[in-house]
Amino acid sequence: MPSPYRAIFAVPGTKGFSAAGFLGRMPLSMMGIGVVTMISQLTGRYGLAGALSATLAMSAAVIGPLISRLVDRHGQRRVLRPATLVALVAVAGLLICAQQRLPDWTLFVFAAGAGCVPSVGSMIRARWAEIYRGSPRELHTAYSWESIVDEVCFIFGPIISIGLSTAWFPEAGPLLAAGFLLVGVLWLTAQRATEPVPHPRREHTGGSALRSRGLQVLVVTFVATGAIFGSIDVVTVAFAEERGHKAAASLVLAVYALGSCLAGAVFGLLRLRGKASTRWLVGVCAMAVSMIPLQLAGNLPFLAVALFVAGLAIAPTMVSTMALVEQHVPRTELTEGMTWTSTGLAVGVALGSSAAGWVVDASGAEAGYAVPVVAGALAAAVAFLGYRRLSVPVPREGLAEDDPHRRTDDERVA
């Protein structure tokens, strides 16, 4: 591991919560694509598969910020365990209804309930922010590390989920994703020493973190960005199936994530200068432009290369996003603020996967790649229009350095 990454793990407990976060985030890459694969295997209906994936993502978008707001006020352990239990019950109901060929409406009910899956990535980043508050270099490296972990999840998650559902039984992918969620959340919440100090309601500035004008720009832009990701997942599965290699879709999507993973690893080693808002704008525009070559994909090898190049812009943009969230959101609402960006992505994934599913059913997989192009153009347009809001950081309200509720370094690692 390069020295900047090794250095951030010098604080006791960091390796443990990052490892737990890896397991807890695997469902993020496995559940949606697992549902698409499961339903397409059982029914052959990509429209239904995309709509269910969209329902799951939209539900998570609505419920996720509420869960994170409760986490900011009451702590991770008290909130994440019951929320995860509800999500697991809903996933079990979804798999049973799909396996028993029950009416479509039952699938949508349980898919909506599965939205209680907590934003584990936000919980991990909040722990890093608690540890390296006031140390921007280390925090940049930590955020880059977590982007690498995200992409590793997206490299292996779809391979595992699609592979199990196609080679074993259709429900296998989502079932294993639920198992990862259970183990990851239980392991994470058992680690109390690095858990951020909760802030009771009286310490909050009132309302939602989304009142921040800068955060609003990030969230709206990420709706369009999420539509890129959601549509690519659905269309790539259909594209591979049309060519008689459905299981290869997981490998192609893994290459997409690999590009992001490598870019994130390099990005974390850099000593950055200039504004995070400028880096973020460049990253969003790069993601938009990288969607254009997908229109030329006539075979899986070409598609894999195009997606690898497209993936290079993802992780650096996500790291810059987390830096901007920290600049524009009060620290007492940091977990909620980070979750709102995930919410924007989830809403976009819902819209993108649903739109892509209908386009594929109507016109075929190649036509479906027009959806991420349109989504990328919208993301770039919103980023340009909102750039001014992000270019000047807003003074954050929150705990003072001498706040009696804040843990000392000894207490945090005890």
142: in domain: yes
Taking CA 304 as the corner, what is the angle to CA 302 and CA 305, rounded to the nearest 5 degrees?
65
What phi and psi values does residue 16 have, to the nearest 5 degrees? -65, -50
| Residue of higher predicted confidence among 95 and 413 | 95
Mean pLDDT across 238-243: 84
pLDDT at residue 374 in the model: 93
Amino acid at 326: E
pLDDT at residue 100 in the model: 84
95: in domain: yes
Does the pLDDT of residue 114 top 60, yes or no? yes
pLDDT band at 372 (very low <50, low <70, confident <90, very high): very high
Structure tokens at 80: 């994440």
143: in domain: yes
2: in domain: no
pLDDT at residue 206 in the model: 54
Mean pLDDT across 315-337: 81
Please give the mean pLDDT across all residues of the chain: 82
Amino acid at 271: R
Does the pLDDT of residue 272 top 80, yes or no? no
What phi and psi values does residue 274 have, to the nearest 5 degrees? 90, -175
**Crossing angle (nearest 10°) for helices 248-267 and 300-311:** 20
In terms of Cα–Cα distance, which of 133, 37, 100 is closest to 330? 133
Mean pLDDT across 134-161: 81
413: in domain: no
Alpha-carbon separation of residue 161 from 2, 31, 209, 294, 413 (angstroms): 31, 8, 34, 24, 36
pLDDT at residue 397 in the model: 47
For residue 289, the enclosing domain spans 13-198+207-395
* 69 CA to centre of own chain: 17
In terms of Cα–Cα distance, which of 219, 215, 225, 229 is closest to 378? 225
Does the pLDDT of residue 392 top 80, yes or no? no
- Total structural domains within the chain: 1
279: in domain: yes
pLDDT band at 395 (very low <50, low <70, confident <90, very high): low
Mean pLDDT across 184-194: 91
CATH number at residue 103: 1.20.1250.20
Does the pLDDT of residue 231 top 50, yes or no? yes
pLDDT at residue 287 in the model: 93
User: In b/e form, how buried is each residue of 374-392, taking b as 16+ CB within 10 angstroms?
Assistant: bbbebbbebbeebbebbee
- How far is 361 from 118, CA to CA, in rounded Å? 32
Mean pLDDT across 353-380: 87
406: in domain: no
| Residue of higher predicted confidence among 247 and 225 | 225
In terms of Cα–Cα distance, which of 100, 76, 137, 321 is closest to 219? 321
Mean pLDDT across 106-118: 86
405: in domain: no
- How far is 368 from 360, CA to CA, in rounded Å? 5
